[in-house]
Amino acid sequence: MTRMSEGLSGGPADLADVPPETRSSTGPLHASVNDPALTSMTLLNEIAGRFPDAVSFAAGRPYEGFYDVADLGRYMSAFENHLTDELGLSPEATRRTFFQYGRTKGFIHHLIARHLRNDEGLDVEPESVVVTTGVQEATVLVLRALRTDTRDVVFAAYPSYVGFLGATRLVDMPVRAVREGPDGIDVADLEEKIRRARAEGLRPRAVYVVPDFANPSGASMPLADRRALLDLAAREDVLLLEDNPYSMFHSGGERLPTLKSLDAERRVVYFGSFAKTAFAGARVGYVVADQSVVGGSLFADELAKLKSMLTLNTSTVAQAVIGGYLLENGCSVERASAREAEVYRGNLRAVLTGLEEWFGAGGPMSGAGVSWNAPKGGMFAVVTLPFRADDAMLEYSASHFGVLWTPLHHFYAGNGGFRQIRLSYSVLTHRQIALGIERLAALIADRT
């Protein structure tokens, strides 16, 4: 539900008023429309919709307190000036950039490369960047490219981001689940799973990881694990798909390098998002794909071919807005999103403090058997409960105690996480967080 169902209302149409005999049937549809991840998201949204007054730890959307519609026009003007003044485009070429079909790989690739140098210490060739309609499109492009026949398979730590799982469904790419520990993906388990897949005649292609502040777990990989993962990828000749939407929301202390910046062999395909930093509605993300392809071309150029059959190019106005956002902030997203990062840091502290006060040593419910992790950043934390926390329990929690959260089993494709819940704190006030944890404590007291 992280990226779902905000904005204008509108559920399924009521078909009751249309005589069924005048409405043709489509016939059977691709299995992905019945994907369990989708069905569960619909269910969660439906429950959330029925309890609008509950404190919601379920809504994963970014903080919206600093949004101002007036920024959008200013960003576009900043980008227009950049085209004319910095790049020297003629008025005709500038107009064409805004209005016509554009370069398939996008036209803010050079600004994205500057941002990666400024904020991640990462040097990428602008030509290896493909600007996409959000990371979601980028994920579909990469998976579409890698799924050549029934032998291809990818790996992901479970619990896993539902958007990634959805993308695999669209291209019929099987996902092999890898264990996740408190420090992210279990590299030894990954190695075993890759070998097992090979023994079955499958062709392991890639491993999906969110090394910093994963969704849903909030886990971050230690440096040694990052290096071990890169070594394993080299030994097994698989790509690493590094998704990095949350790194700007770090603790403020020392940061770990991205996999991509440790990637001497260019084995990492890097996904970057502006959804949580600039704004989600723009639908602007990107992928850095600097691998070579048999025949000598650049992976980014092959992905662009697929994009030319999928969306042609990322919306020019959306790119211009994000381009202006980058330019206004010296191509530092860290600078641009400093206020949001401060909100998330404060909210994370409030969540951890609240949990400690209720369930920690000396707290009123210290013996209840509740534990939780302590993410170093991001937008999510995970709480382990002493009872089954499934959709029925969520419904009970909402109706009897006025608090919403996300059952973790939805991120396991139904195969785990039945006693865990995700707490998302991005859009809450400290007061709402305290109230929500108090209500959670009441639920737990009721069930134990």
* Window 369-388: residues binding its own copies (CB under 8 A): none
Total site size for its own copies, rule CB under 8 A: 113
Applying CB under 8 A, which of residues 294, 361, 362, 415 lies at the interface with its own copies?
294
User: 168, 142 in Cβ contact below 8 A?
Assistant: no
Least spacing, CB of residue 57 vs its own copies, in Å: 17
At closest approach, how far in Å is the CB of 144 from its own copies? 6
Contacts of residues 363-366 at CB distance under 8 Å and 24 or more positions apart, as own/partner, are 364/441, 365/441, 365/444, 365/445
Using alpha carbons, select from 241, 232, 237 the residue that is nearest to residue 190.
232
Taking the least distance from each CB to its own copies, the nearer of 61 and 439 is 61
Q: Are 433 and 353 in contact (CB under 8 A)?
A: no
Distance in Å, CB of 174 to its own copies, minimum = 15
Stretch that binds its own copies, among 133-141, 333-341, 387-395, 403-411 (CB under 8 A): 133-141
Q: Does 311 help bind its own copies (rule: CB under 8 A)?
A: yes
299 binds its own copies (CB under 8 A): yes
CB of 80 to its own copies, least distance (A): 6
CB of 303 to its own copies, least distance (A): 9
Least Cβ distance, residue 205 to its own copies (angstroms): 7
Dihedral angle sign, alpha carbons of residues 314, 138, 140, 150: positive
The whole-angstrom separation of Cα 153 and Cα 160 is 16
Alpha helices in 121-222 (DSSP H): 134-146, 162-170, 187-199
**Which parts of 327-366 interact with its own copies (CB under 8 A)?**
none
Site string for its own copies, 226-265 (x = CB under 8 A): -----------x-x------------------------xx
Q: How far apart are CA 137 and CA 34, in angstroms?
A: 20
Site for its own copies in 403-422 (CB under 8 A): none
Using CB under 8 A as the binding rule, whether residue 205 contacts its own copies is answered as yes
Amino acid at 64: E
Question: Alpha-carbon distance 370 to 386, whole Å?
Answer: 6
Q: Which stretch binds its own copies (CB under 8 A): 71-79, 176-184, 250-258, 365-373?
A: 71-79
Candidates 246, 249, 279, 405: give the one binding its own copies (CB under 8 A): 279
180 touches 145 (CB < 8 A): no
Q: Which one among 111, 131, 248, 282 touches its own copies, defined by CB under 8 A?
A: 282
Residue placing its CB nearer to its own copies in the complex, 43 or 310: 310
The gap from C-alpha 137 to its chain's centroid, in whole angstroms, comes to 12
Position among 3, 117, 349, 430 found at the interface with its own copies (CB under 8 A)? 3
In the sheet that 152-158 helps form, which strands lie side by side, from edge to edge? 129-132, 285-288, 268-273, 239-243, 203-209, 152-158, 175-181, 184-185
According to DSSP, the residues that pair with 178 across neighbouring strands are 157
Distance CA 125, CA 142 (A): 18
Contact residue for its own copies among 262, 293, 365, 368 (CB under 8 A) = 293
Tell which residue, 324, 260, 233, 8, has the closest CA to residue 124. 260
Q: Between residues 162 and 444, which has the closer beta carbon with respect to its own copies? A: 162
User: Residue 134 interacts with its own copies (CB under 8 A)?
Assistant: yes
Name residues contacting its own copies, limited to 164-193 (CB under 8 A). Answer: 166-167, 169-170
Spatial neighbors of 20 by CB under 8 A, at least 6 apart, are none
Q: Would you count residue 266 as binding its own copies (CB under 8 A)? A: yes
Return the residues of window 81-120 that contact its own copies according to CB under 8 A.
Answer: 87, 92, 94-105, 107, 109
Residue 163 in the binding site for its own copies (CB under 8 A): yes
CB 176 to its own copies: min, Å? 17
Whether the CB-CB separation of 211 and 244 falls below 8 Å is answered with: yes
Instruction: Answer for the pair 446, 400: CB distance below 8 angstroms, yes or no.
Output: yes
